[in-house]
Structure 1
Amino acid sequence: MTRWIDLEGAVNVRDLGGLPTNDGGRTRRGRILRADNLQGLTPGDVAVLVGELNLRHVVDLRSTAEVSLEGPGPLTFVPEVRHHHLTLFAEGGRHTDVEADTVDNTVDTTVDNTVDNTVDIDRVLPWADRALDEELRVTGFYFGYLRDRPDSVVAALRAMALDDGASLVHCAAGKDRTGVLSALALEIAGATRQAIVEDYVATGERLELILKRLRGTSTYQGDLDSRPADDHRPRPGNIEQFLSVLDERFGGPMGWLVQHGWTSADTEAMRARLRD
């Protein structure tokens, strides 16, 4: 059975269920989904997600600038669906998707017309800089999520584990930010490392379609047009390096999570969601 969920308005949607676990089982289907941007969902897509798949929680990892520029998506108008906006970037003041502005971090970004709503594409889609070690560069961005927003990482995982219907985690491409949160959720659930890596690289199967969608919006188009598609490919070494450094520095992803407030009850909730 395929884990892909084919929709008209999103191209990188799949189930975290059906993956092998360390004790010989499988992760449970229909509980946690991962996706790219949901702005283009059609009424038929909404019916599939909410009606057929019982979607009740959307975890949006995009920056405030991305959400503002893209506008509300169709699922924001569905009363049954609860939205959790949990950016993985440091935000504050006039700079909404770069380092927090510590001098002017009390500015009300909803009313102040000086707010910088540009999107830093290097952070949204980490580029493969051929002058640097690619794995170190990409995983450096991934550790930035943990460094800058541990609160969002933990809150996102808790929202993904809520048990009153299916949950879906997404960003823009559904590759990097979503890939990190999906890897952590699968690690908590006891999925094998090989399964976690295979899930991460599966986005590559839809890469051309993902980039075509992003090029269709002014939020991401400008920078994408000048870059080859292969620069964005999710390579196994990226997520392997990320997990191995967590192993070395914290005794594994669970060690990092516990240091940032994750509890045994949280672990039980995630395992109840994703384990058969």
Structure 2
Amino acid sequence: MSSTGREDLRTDRWLRLDGTTNTRDLGGLPTSDGGTTQPGRILRSDNLQTLSEDDVRWLIGDARLREVIDLRTTAEVLLEGRGPLRAVPEVTHRHFSLLPERGHHTDVFAVEEADVPELPQDWAESLLPRQVAESDEDEPPAVRSYLGYLAHRPDNVLGALRALTAVSDGASVVHCAAGKDRTGVVVMLSLAVAGVPHEEIVADYALTAEVIDALVAKLAASPTYAEDMERRDVALHTPRAETMDRLLALLDERHGGPLGWLTEHGFGPREQAALRARLRD
């Protein structure tokens, strides 16, 4: 944990930790009915593998973290290994990959390192989001990827939202590798359910651009992600407001908005109310 002291860890909504570069609280955002989302309920983050001991102590004690929702692929989880929060009994870990997978483990967190099977070679080619919905070939690449999550893994998108809803006490953190793409889509839906207007959802998504240099450097230090980080310019990793704006516009056009998409896929008014309460009440 940085030497600035715990009282200075929160700068606006950012949480300044030693081992992450893109962690922030979904609290403090305005809602369309004049309310505000509550802090200390749901956090979003990049990979948690490099948390320091001080980070872990602060997250468990001060932030009261009780749940980790991991959106990475099974390959990423197994290649990166067990992060420090895995040793904390108070924290429940849930895994919901947003990419199609072969040989998927039903409970990846029950797999110990000594029991890890040999990973199929093609898993290493899809560590970061790349899939494209065929009907959306004219959309920008990031928009296509996000539509791909919704088209190919709606089960796990909803699973992540239900896991966020199920926690009644303490905080949850949802993360992937960078905390911007897969995390961004789950967070978008969560904030929409809470009544956060589109422009605020877009602004939250685009905040990652403020830390993109440090984020790319962190991922480049991991053998799992190094090649991908080095192959593409930083600008290509940088989230743009127009990407999330376009995704929201397409959801409006095709489904009547994010809530319409959720309802069509079985996450109806009752579950939406429960998730809204998690962020609002």
Normalising by structure 2, we get a TM-score of 0.86
Counterpart check, 1:142 vs 2:146: yes
1:43-122 alignment runs, 5 A limit: 43-93=53-103, 112-113=117-118, 115-116=120-121, 117-121=123-127
SS in 2 for 1:225: helix
**Could you tell me how far 1:115 is from its partner in structure 2?**
2.2
Unaligned 5+ runs, structure 2: 1-10, 105-114
Counterpart check, 1:198 vs 2:203: yes
Partners of 1:17 and 1:196 in 2: CA distance: 12
SS in 2 for 1:144: helix
Conservation of the 8 A alpha-carbon contact between 2:131 and 2:148: no
Conservation of the 8 A alpha-carbon contact between 1:65 and 1:119: no
Partners of 2:37 and 2:119 in 1: CA distance: 47
1:153 equivalent in structure 2: 157
1:140-164 CA-to-partner distances (Å, cap 9, x unmatched) read: 1001101111110001011112222
Q: Which letter does structure 2 place at the counterpart of 1:123?
A: P
**Could you tell me how far 1:121 is from its partner in structure 2?**
4.9
Conservation of the 8 A alpha-carbon contact between 2:69 and 2:173: yes
**Could you tell me how far 1:114 is from its partner in structure 2?**
5.8
Structure 1 residues 190 and 4: alpha-carbon distance in aligned structure 2, compared to 1, 3 A threshold: same
Structure 1 residues 119 and 69: alpha-carbon distance in aligned structure 2, compared to 1, 3 A threshold: farther
When the two chains are superposed, the root-mean-square deviation of aligned CA atoms in Å is: 1.9
Percent identity reads 49
Counterpart check, 1:253 vs 2:263: no
Partners of 1:84 and 1:30 in 2: CA distance: 19
> Which is richer in helix?
2
1:235-254 alignment runs, 5 A limit: 235-254=240-259
Conservation of the 8 A alpha-carbon contact between 1:146 and 1:153: yes
1:102 equivalent in structure 2: none
Match of 1:8 among 3, 18, 22: 18
Q: Which letter does structure 2 place at the counterpart of 1:52?
A: D
Match of 2:214 among 205, 209, 214: 209
Counterpart check, 1:226 vs 2:265: no
**Could you tell me how far 1:223 is from its partner in structure 2?**
2.3
SS in 1 for 2:129: helix
Partners of 2:230 and 2:155 in 1: CA distance: 34
Moved more, 257-266 or 116-125: 116-125
Conservation of the 8 A alpha-carbon contact between 2:72 and 2:98: yes
Structure 1 residues 177 and 237: alpha-carbon distance in aligned structure 2, compared to 1, 3 A threshold: same
1:145-187 CA-to-partner distances (Å, cap 9, x unmatched) read: 0111111000101111222221000000001000111111000
Q: Which letter does structure 2 place at the counterpart of 1:242?
A: L
Conservation of the 8 A alpha-carbon contact between 2:131 and 2:145: no
Conservation of the 8 A alpha-carbon contact between 1:57 and 1:83: yes
1:95-154 CA-to-partner distances (Å, cap 9, x unmatched) read: x6xxxxxxxxxxxxx66536234142552699xxxxx97x52211100110111111000
Partners of 2:31 and 2:155 in 1: CA distance: 27
**Could you tell me how far 1:196 is from its partner in structure 2?**
0.3
SS in 1 for 2:231: coil
SS in 1 for 2:94: strand
Unaligned 5+ runs, structure 1: 97-109, 127-131
1:158-173 alignment runs, 5 A limit: 158-161=162-165, 162-173=167-178
